[in-house]
Structure 1
């Protein structure tokens, strides 16, 4: 979970599933949860949302 700074106009957040114990061939659907601490009288605008897969580097 990542907290968004209050003074941020534009930002990006990342979540790497590579650290999860996950069998990628079995994944058929994903979902995204947005958690608001105090949602009353606030507005959230999502202008772009990208999910993509990158090969992981071998070390």
Structure 2
């Protein structure tokens, strides 16, 4: 099962996703982390190819 949560910035999407993941024993993925490569010195915006490859990898998973 997969759930895609949408909403405005700061609406609690990540909090809700984490709670669902914790109670169901599945994973939660923040789409911000698909778009951005996180680094201590500053984030880098991924290329469309990188972003799409990561997203496709997530979508291939069972849950």
The normalised TM-score by structure 2 is 0.25
RCO greater where, 1 or 2, for CA within 8 Å and sep 6 or more? 1
Structure having the higher helix fraction is 2
* Structure number with bigger Rg: 1
Q: Larger % of strand: which? A: 2
Query: Given the two structures, how large is their TM-score scaled by the length of structure 1?
Result: 0.26
